């Protein structure tokens, strides 16, 4: 997860930020990538199993979970803002390009901050709060999750007999693409690709 965020951050800094304008396809790609990163963060094992076990465990745990939730919401607001930019797509001035790149930078920064807080604070609280039996239960869920990932990688892309199972397998496989090691509710993001107008298509190829 961290490597994916840093990689996209580097792409924005070395490519998009150096341009005076963005094409519609570049903004579409940015929105799609941010949504993919956001969902991948949600489908990690720590989100699915460890954070729910800490809910209402202690006041300190609740404070940290609230802070992690705020970071999530900050990242989500960036996605919504860029999708709004896409919905009202026009020619982007150099200043707008800078603002879009700054928004993407904010997204990457807040999720990296979240990962750091998980490593430095969440696990410390978990070790002090969660009892032995609960740890075994979480460990078993982690192992089952890993087994599901292995099985997901074996599912052929052409398997149409059980579309629901295939969809779940794809979600798990995508989530573990950059496993880093909450329960923060994640609203379903709907992404609609705009159809280019003849004017926009001509402008992008100019």
Digit-coded pLDDT (tens) for 61-120: 999 999 999 999 999 999 999 998 887 766 566 668 888 999 999 999 999 999 999 999
DSSP 25: H
**Cβ(116)–Cβ(23) below 8 Å:** no
Return the structure tokens found at 62: 């609740």
**Cβ(65)–Cβ(50) below 8 Å:** no
Axis crossing angle, helix 59-87 with helix 24-42, rounded to the nearest 10: 160
Return the structure tokens found at 2: 């961290």
CA distance 7 to 72: 19
CA distance 114 to 142: 20
Return the structure tokens found at 71: 């970071």
**Cβ(26)–Cβ(99) below 8 Å:** no
Confidence class of residue 186 from pLDDT cuts 50, 70 and 90? very low
Return the structure tokens found at 189: 């993001």
Domain boundaries, the chain: 2-196
CA distance 45 to 47: 5
Residues with Cβ within 8 Å of 34's Cβ and at least 6 positions away in sequence, in order, are 8, 75, 78, 79, 82, 104, 107
Confidence class of residue 130 from pLDDT cuts 50, 70 and 90? confident
pLDDT at 91: 59
Q: pTM, whole model, 2 decimals? A: 0.70
Return the structure tokens found at 33: 């990538």
- pLDDT (tens digit per residue) in 140-179: 888 888 888 788 777 654 444 455 545 554 554 454 444 4
């Amino acid at each position: 997860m961290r490597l994916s965020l840093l990689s996209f951050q580097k792409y924005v800094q070395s490519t998009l930020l150096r341009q005076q304008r963005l094409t519609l396809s570049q903004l579409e790609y940015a929105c799609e990538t941010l949504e993919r990163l956001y969902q991948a963060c949600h489908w990690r094992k720590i989100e699915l199993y460890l954070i729910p076990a800490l809910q209402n465990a202690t006041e300190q745990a609740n404070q940290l979970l609230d802070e992690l939730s705020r970071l999530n919401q900050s990242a989500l607001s960036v996605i919504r803002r860029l999708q709004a930019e896409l919905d009202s797509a026009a020619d982007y001035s150099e200043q707008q390009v800078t603002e879009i790149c700054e928004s993407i930078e904010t997204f990457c920064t807040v999720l990296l901050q979240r990962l750091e807080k998980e490593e430095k604070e969440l696990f410390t609280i978990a070790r002090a709060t969660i009892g032995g039996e609960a740890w075994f239960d979480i460990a078993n869920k982690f192992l089952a999750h890993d087994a599901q990932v292995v099985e997901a990688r074996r599912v052929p892309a052409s398997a149409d007999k059980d579309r629901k199972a295939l969809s779940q397998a794809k979600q798990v496989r995508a989530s573990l693409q950059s496993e880093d090691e909450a329960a923060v509710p994640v609203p379903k993001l709907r992404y609609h690709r705009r159809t280019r107008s003849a004017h926009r298509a001509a402008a992008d190829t100019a």
